[in-house]
Structure 1
Amino acid sequence: MSLTLAALLPLLAQIGPTGTQMQAPLDLPRKKAAVSGPPAPVTANPVVQRLRECLDLTQTDAAAAVTSAIAWRDGAVGSARVPAGHCLGLALSEQGDFAGAEAAFLGARADVSSSDSADKARLGTMAANAAMAAGGADRALGMLAAAQADARSAADKVLAAEVGIDRARALVAMKRDAEAAAVLAEARADAPGNGLAWLLSATLSRRAGKLGEAQAFIEKASAIAPQDPDIGLEAGVIAVLAARDDAARKSWRSVIATAPGSDQAKVAKGYLDQLDPGPTSEGR
């Protein structure tokens, strides 16, 4: 059985073991083990280890990562080529070669087993994002439609919502805001706990002048991710457009407090300076 991309994703977000605290066990008599001694060493999966090394290399020497990933991919067969293609796409993205990254991700998607719809969805979404970065929103939209169909085939609503968010971005880039709003509504229904879906819905409604709707969306986003600086920025913009300047100040000050030194904090400071120009604005 081949190792799927889903099995490799934990490398991108290392999570330690969890569990509930156990009560002290009863002192039950046990039969002694037939053989005693140190446990056998755990051997790391060689594919996982190689992908880990390749992903690390993309952050320190993208050119070397490209060379390594190509050699790995060309020496593999079938679905064994998938992790190499995944790493190659990321390495090319780091170099700013988004067309190359798109091709690498699509190649990896083609190598995925036909039964692994979720993996196809993930790699198709990566290819679409590379296309978007290269200015190909129309091309990305087709890939994202296919990726969302793959996610639904895998019965993964959370993944379908994530793909839907990217579809909405592509639609907005093509000035198809009404379609984007409908796609975001589907994403909210599929994954109500996805704060980004609510944030983007708020932004889209605000741009359409629907401030009441935007306020409802941003309140939901804030409840899900209260310290997200992007949510704080948008909450302030919606508030100031609704002539609620005090609420806007509160939102933007919270961004500066929770994400000091970030790009969002700099934007928030600029907004505050526009709202209250003059020497007294310093230090807010």
Structure 2
Amino acid sequence: MTVLLALLLQVGPAPAIEPISPIPEELQEQRERTRARRNAYVEVLPETSRLAQCLTRTREDPGAAANEAHEWLTAAGGPDRGDAAQCLGVAQARLGQQSQAAGTFLQARDATPPGDHRARALRGGLAGGALLAQGNPAGALELLDVARVDAQAAGEEAILGQIAIDRAIALVALERLEEAETALETARAALPDNVDAWLLSATLSRRHGKLDEAQARIERAAVLDPLDPGVGLEAGVIAAMAGRDDAARKNWRSVIEAAPGSDAAATAQAYLEQLDAP
């Protein structure tokens, strides 16, 4: 599945390092990893249910799954329409059709009984995530705020944490930075072992110039997933800003070794060249 989807803040120049970009790529990439990890709670369903089987199909052949889900949705009535629309939305998202997916997830949410707060939170959160991936943080935040209320009513910490991560990305894109930090606090509390929550928190702290806090947070992310290229990139930037050039080089070289040929490796190589430029 995102991410998910951009932090805009850059506070102060890093030693020998240019700002990553107006919309930093590391968080756009992190949005994709967040979306993939979301499967852990999106698909906790009885294996024999039609929705579970349809969601499995979206991983194997999203195009065929989209056709099957559309036929299911056309014929379905009552709560089944919510299940069918959820599967269709997942298939559309896997096909990169984020605009269509957002509308389909909303259709799924609206077909869900008002008392089923878990499903409404999940489907509303997916709709918000699709809009975020489409580059519409304001629209995403509106949907995510509604989904957050449903997640709280359902007592679903996992869904609440993922919604909080997406809310943080949307809030920073809208330059509402204090609210973004609050959202990430919620994410870390709900998902203390989620590498995305700690990586995004480290990035936000670094962009505020809070390097000690950023270092502590990126170290926690590295414990959770030492091979995550995003963690290595961010650890290197934090080290460079703190004047620890050798540590920065070590982190960026680890990204190149762990993910050769990837976009992250190309970014790491560019950082190394900037750091070592005369």
Q: Per-residue deviation at 1:57? A: 2.9
Alignment match, 1:123? 123
Residue 261 of structure 1: CA displacement?
2.2
C-alpha RMSD over aligned residues:
2.5
2:60 counterpart of 1:56: yes
| Count of aligned pairs between the two proteins | 239
Question: Which whole-Å CA distance do the structure 2 matches of 1:243 and 1:160 have between them?
Answer: 37
Over residues 138-175 of structure 1, what are the superposed CA-to-partner deviations in whole Å (9 max), with x where a residue is unaligned? 11111111212222222122221111000000101111
**Runs ≥4 residues deviating over 4 A:** 5-8, 44-47
TM-score by length of 2: 0.78
Distance 1:6 1:234 in 2: 25
Q: How far does the alpha carbon of each residue in 1:91-128 deviate from its partner, in whole angstroms, 9 at most, with x for none?
A: 33355443321110011112223333222111111101
**Contact persistence 1:51–1:83 (CA under 8 A):** no
| 8 Å Cα contact 1:51/1:84 also seen in 2 | no
What SS does the corresponding residue of 1:124 show, helix, strand or coil?
A: helix
Unaligned runs of 5+ in 2: 1-38
Q: Percent identical across equivalent pairs?
A: 46
1:9 pairs, out of 14, 29, 43, with 43
For structure 1, the 5+ residue unaligned runs are: 15-43, 279-284
Distance in 1 separating the partners of 2:229 and 2:169: 19
Residues 1-284 of structure 1 mapped to structure 2, 5 A cutoff: 9-10=43-44, 45-46=49-50, 48-58=52-62, 62=63, 65-277=65-277
Q: Is the 8 A contact 1:120 1:147 kept in 2?
A: yes
Q: Distance in 1 between matches of 2:242 and 2:180?
A: 24
Aligned counterparts of 2:271 and 2:85: Cα–Cα separation in 1:
43
1 or 2 for the larger relative contact order (CA 8 Å, sep ≥6)?
A: 2
Whole-angstrom distance in 2 between the partners of 1:48 and 1:211: 44
Distance verdict in 2 for CA 1:97–1:8, change over 3 Å:
closer
The structure whose Rg is larger is 1
